Chains A and B, each alone.
Chain A
């Protein structure tokens, strides 16, 4: 019985899915595969900031690690039992100053570079939610996560949330290329995390809380949405699709989904009205 009830509550999703399968858009081509051990292809406007910061830090770390290993190797093979040990407690003022200076320089260069760039990137992009929210160009999407799928919601032509003309999707988020996107996330059961590796960002979907995530795609195509928080036995199956379309294709698609969703609208199905008034950021 429970299952039947659940299906009834989700029927709008079935409708939405059927609608999408009938769409004349070439969106079901295979998602592009990756090779090698690099990060997945970056298709976002700002992902390069994260890629660059991770990579330059990795180079710093490799250099530091190699210095450490060489230092150890000299001690192991040159300063071995044949080498007389120095009786040195290393606590002379000069020695302490050297140790503190080395740590200080590493801190300023490696940690400092991380800190300064992260602060800039967060303020300009990744945690700059207010500016994304105020930008009239921004595409706004509500996502409700649950075991084990992603529900998407677009405000529809009336611009209001949780109304009849909302476009509703299942495991299928579409955005136009070159437009800022602001996603508000929540969950109706356990914690999930909305992970877009090709955009270099992820945010948790927490029940009872709305959390934001921003990105802007610079290429059309299809990309994976992965769940990045353990959410039960089928966590690994919680896979959605992010489709980046041209503006025209996006408008066409949104119109159609909004139309179909409003046809399927049932005012008594309260479970289907999971949307929330847009949270000002």
Chain B
């Protein structure tokens, strides 16, 4: 029998479920398995990066005192005390691990992979093998990171920004720093592979009717992030290679001053290369969160996303502008005044699309019918922390105020509220929301709510504490921050901030218990569409079969059709699936159909109905 979407069905093979253990769990091309692999990997590194954060917070609350219990394990060579050398390694690798090995794999590797094909109605990613390679390349980079802790002189210690000449051989000798730079290059390669895949998949494999203005905001976020990754990670990779050449082959791209031999380079060149990547990177780490939040706020307010196109345009504008604001990281380097002032103007302008996004979220939930589910609580928490984090960016975007605030704890608080706290809360919201798609059941609601409140209060306590001490002038990255007359009195606020950090860490136990019991013991199976939402992933079973959609769906409406009176009257429910029509008829293929006809069918297998 011919289905109306046969032309589409033939383009994407229906894969047989893999039978061997390796094909199923290790070397899998299935985007859902790769999503789970990235999630596990990211959670492990999140634990490592989180542990490092606790050590840093211990040092700031009790400088030079032995770390209880864990100190004997990790700092046994110094009797459990964190030394200045340990400390520089700790904050350096904490930043890099959290960005490249925790947030990126979880938010983009896991949820980009999971959501893109399912939400656009595709059977897999455009390039499944590239997807597999992307994950294993990332694993390789992660092994380099772990290896860097075991070599003489220890791991990277030049700060996450890796500024030369400090990150050169003279500043940070040994294999640890080199391995870490190489690991960044390697994970960058994995990111580019993923990015190419995501961009291609969204452009080529959208189901019929899934027009650009019906794309869930989650997919928009992942799509824009993937574009930024493909454009800007190569710049970082190039900058990293030059640094490795300096370290290994005695070139002097970044070396100047007394360290330089003949022919001096310029350390500031690295900062340009780093930040032209680095500023898009902070949007790379927040655009997916904006996507989740935009969708969740609509889903659980039971109301269409307010001015959807405005949100899409705002996210697109931020993505484009992210490339031309990076100079605000370099106001104090002695940059040309005209250049600095231009970057200030552009950076201030980027706040406009961000404000529009906020207004759209607030308008969406206003006059809604809010269901305070766990993912919604995490979305609201994300808005809260991103609100304070985004607003505190304004005095950092402005040159004169940045002359005082630059390199203080205020900066640390600001960017941890945005790219750490907001990314953290949004990603965990996504875990709770899409858990059924991965494991066939919901996570425990009560434990999830404990996890939320501990995380939310903890994150705010820690990073608002940092804003306060930074406002008072405390410089960042100090082993003992209380050396100065203007910081000596800040020990108290640092201790309180550290208590919030320990509270935050303690709260993660609720997640760990919930995670293991839900993944392995399996909660009772949930219904197919537990949240009663209309995006395509909920039109198929949980967990989802390997081919996702036996028939490629025809998309009939946008992703946020809630509380439509006509829908309530005709379908008897307040949501319309993107695969449903209001009159109950079969969806019709939109015209014109350009896909399929000029392709030969040599790569399109027949759907195997027997698998259902």
Contacts and interface: CB of A to CB of B under 8 A. Distances in A.
Interface of A: 30-40, 49-51, 53-54, 57-58, 61, 64-65, 68-69, 71-72, 74-76, 79-91, 95-96, 99-100, 102-104, 106-107, 110-111, 114-115, 117-119, 121-122, 126-127, 146, 185-191, 193, 195, 197-198, 200-204, 206-212, 223-224, 226-237, 239
B403 A201 contact: yes
B518 interface: no
A208 B88 contact: no
Interface in B445-496: 468-469, 471-473, 475, 477-481, 483-490, 493
Given A91-B307, A201-B403, 9 more contacts: A54-B404, A75-B362, A80-B369, A107-B355, A111-B348, A188-B258, A202-B407, A208-B256, A229-B407
B242 to A, nearest CB: 16
By Cβ-Cβ distance, the 5 closest A-B pairs, closest first, are A208-B256, A207-B257, A211-B334, A90-B306, A75-B365
Interface in B140-186: 157-159, 163-166, 170-171
Contacts of A189: 165, 170-171, 257-259
Interface string B361-374: 01111111111100
A85 B359 contact: no
Among A57, A71, A127, A187, the one with the most B-chain Cβ atoms within 10 Å of its Cβ is: A127
Given A85-B367, A85-B574, A115 B348 contact: yes
A47 to B, nearest CB: 8
Interface in B23-37: none
Contact of B404 (A50, A83, A191, A204): A50
Interface string B291-330: 0000000000111111111100000000000000000000
Interface stretch (B272-280, B508-516, B561-569): B561-569
B404 A230 contact: no
A6 to B, nearest CB: 12
B370 A79 contact: yes
Given A75-B366, A96-B307, A191-B267, A121 B84 contact: no
Contacts of B469: 37
Among A30, A49, A75, A118, the one with the most B-chain Cβ atoms within 10 Å of its Cβ is: A75
Contacts of A239: 483-484
B550 interface: no
Given A107-B352, A206-B333, A239-B484, A37 B406 contact: no
A54 B404 CA distance: 9
Contacts of A82: 369
Given A188-B257, A236-B479, A79 B485 contact: no
B372 to A, nearest CB: 7
Contacts of B256: 206-209
B581 interface: no
A80 B307 CA distance: 21
Interface of B: 83-85, 87-88, 157-159, 163-166, 170-171, 255-260, 264-268, 301-310, 332-334, 337, 340-341, 344-345, 348-349, 351-352, 355-356, 358-360, 362-372, 380, 383-384, 387-388, 391-392, 394-395, 397-401, 403-408, 468-469, 471-473, 475, 477-481, 483-490, 493, 562-565, 574
B368 A83 contact: yes
Given A99-B359, A127-B337, A189-B170, A207 B165 contact: yes
B493 to A, nearest CB: 7
Given A202-B332, A230-B159, A86 B387 contact: no
A50 B340 CA distance: 17
Contact of A53 (B398, B489, B565, B574): B398
A85 B388 contact: no
22 contacts: A35-B489, A58-B395, A61-B394, A65-B391, A69-B387, A71-B362, A72-B380, A72-B384, A76-B372, A81-B371, A85-B301, A85-B574, A89-B305, A114-B398, A191-B267, A206-B267, A208-B264, A208-B267, A211-B334, A230-B159, A233-B85, A236-B84
B68 to A, nearest CB: 23
Contact of B484 (A119, A209, A224): A224
Contact of A99 (B308, B310, B351, B372): B310
A36 B549 CA distance: 61
B400 A121 contact: yes
Contact of A236 (B307, B337, B481): B481
A129 B246 CA distance: 34
Contacts of B400: 49-50, 53, 117-118, 121-122, 126
B514 to A, nearest CB: 24
Contacts of B310: 90-91, 96, 99
B334 A90 contact: no
A236 B479 CA distance: 6
Contacts of A72: 362, 365, 380, 383-384
Given A103-B356, A118-B400, A200-B403, A83 B369 contact: yes
Contact of B303 (A86, A104, A121, A228): A86
Nearest to A209: B334
Among B83, B333, B399, B401, the one with the most A-chain Cβ atoms within 10 Å of its Cβ is: B401
B274 to A, nearest CB: 12
A65 B387 contact: yes
A197 B471 CA distance: 11
Given A74-B366, A202-B407, A224-B484, A114 B395 contact: yes
Nearest to B348: A111
B158 to A, nearest CB: 7
A197 B478 CA distance: 15
B394 A111 contact: yes
A61 B355 CA distance: 12
Given A72-B383, A201-B403, A88 B367 contact: yes
B487 to A, nearest CB: 8
Given A195-B475, A211-B334, A75 B368 contact: yes
A69 B475 contact: no
B140 to A, nearest CB: 28
A119 B392 contact: no
A80 B304 CA distance: 15
A191 B166 contact: yes
Contact of A202 (B85, B370, B392, B403): B403
Contacts of B360: 90, 99
Contacts of A87: 303-304, 562-565
Given A84-B563, A229-B407, A232-B88, A122 B337 contact: yes
B572 to A, nearest CB: 16
A206 B401 contact: no
A197 B367 CA distance: 47
Contacts of A36: 472, 489
Contacts of B397: 114
B345 A115 contact: yes
Given A75-B301, A208-B266, A228 B407 contact: yes
Contacts of B170: 189
B494 to A, nearest CB: 12
A88 B371 CA distance: 18
Contacts of B404: 39, 50-51, 54, 197, 200-202
Nearest to A111: B348
A262 to B, nearest CB: 24
Among B349, B365, B384, B493, the one with the most A-chain Cβ atoms within 10 Å of its Cβ is: B365
Contacts of B362: 68, 71-72, 75
Contact of A193 (B384, B407, B487): B407
A35 B384 CA distance: 30
B3 to A, nearest CB: 31
B367 to A, nearest CB: 4
A235 B478 contact: yes
B485 A65 contact: no
